[in-house]
Structure 1
Amino acid sequence: MIYDLHVHSTASDGTCSPTEVVDEAIARGLAGIALTDHDTMEGLKTAAEYIKDNQFSLEFIPGIEMNTELNENEVHILGYYVDADHLKVKRRLTEIRSQRKERAQKMIAKLSDLGVKISYEEVHRLAGSDLIARPHIARAMIAAGYVSSVKEAFDYYLGKEKPAYVKRYKFVPSEAIELIKQMGGIAVLAHPGLIRDQNLIPSIISLGIEGLEVYYPEHTPEQLAGFLQLAEQYGLLVTGGSDFHGNNITESRSQLGAAGIDSKLMSKIKAYRNTIYGNS
Structure 2
Amino acid sequence: MMSTTDFTNDKDFSNLRVDLHSHTNCSDGALTPQELIERAVNFQIDVLAITDHDTVSGLVSAKQTILEKNIPLTLIDGIEISTQWQGFEIHIVGLNIAPEHQALTTLILQQQQRREDRATAMGVKLAKCGFDDVYTDAKAMAGEGSITRAHFARVLLQRGVVSKMQAAFDKYIGKGQRAYVNPNWCSIEDAVAAIHAAGGVAVMAHPIRYDLSTKWLRRLIVDFKAAQGDGLEVVLPQMNKEQRKLMLSFCLEYNLHASMGSDFHQPSRWSDLGRNLVMPEQANAIWQLWQGQATPKN
Would the TM-score normalized by the shorter structure come out above 0.5? yes
Q: Is 1:155 the equivalent of 2:170? A: yes
Q: Percent identity?
A: 32
Any idea what the Cα deviations from partners look like across 1:95-123, whole Å, max 9, x if unmatched?
A: 21122111111111111111123432211
Residue 211 of structure 1: aligned partner? 231
**Structure 2 unaligned blocks of 5 or more:** 1-15
Assess, with a 3 A threshold, how the Cα gap between structure 1 residues 71 and 172 changes in structure 2: closer, same or farther.
same
CA distance in 2, matches of 1:242, 1:219: 11
CA distance in 2, matches of 1:76, 1:194: 10
Provide the secondary structure at the position in 1 that maps to 2:20. Answer: strand
CA contact (8 A) 1:242 1:256 kept: yes
Assess, with a 3 A threshold, how the Cα gap between structure 1 residues 261 and 48 changes in structure 2: closer, same or farther.
farther
CA distance in 2, matches of 1:68, 1:144: 31
TM value normalised by structure 1: 0.91
Any idea what the Cα deviations from partners look like across 1:30-53, whole Å, max 9, x if unmatched?
A: 111100000111111211221122
CA contact (8 A) 2:114 2:185 kept: no
RMSD: 2.1
CA contact (8 A) 1:215 1:241 kept: yes
CA contact (8 A) 2:103 2:197 kept: no
Q: Residue 268 of structure 1: CA displacement?
A: 4.3
Q: Is 1:145 the equivalent of 2:174? A: no
CA contact (8 A) 1:100 1:132 kept: yes
User: Which stretch shows the higher mean deviation, 232-241 or 138-147?
Assistant: 232-241
Partner amino acid, structure 1, of 2:153: A
Residue 288 of structure 2: aligned partner? 271
Residue 259 of structure 2: aligned partner? 239
Q: Residue 229 of structure 1: CA displacement?
A: 1.4
TM value normalised by structure 2: 0.86
Residue 107 of structure 1: aligned partner? 122
Residue 240 of structure 2: aligned partner? 220
For residues 44-63 of structure 1, what are the structure 2 equivalents within 5 Å? Answer: 44-63=59-78
Provide the secondary structure at the position in 1 that maps to 2:186. Answer: coil
CA contact (8 A) 1:80 1:187 kept: yes
CA distance in 2, matches of 1:26, 1:257: 11
CA distance in 2, matches of 1:262, 1:111: 43
For residues 162-173 of structure 1, what are the structure 2 equivalents within 5 Å? Answer: 162-173=177-188
Give the one of 265, 271, 277 matched to 1:260: 277
CA distance in 2, matches of 1:267, 1:56: 29
Q: Is 1:67 the equivalent of 2:88? A: no
Q: Residue 264 of structure 1: CA displacement?
A: 8.0
Aligned length: 274
**Structure 1 unaligned blocks of 5 or more:** none
Indicate the structure with greater helix content.
1
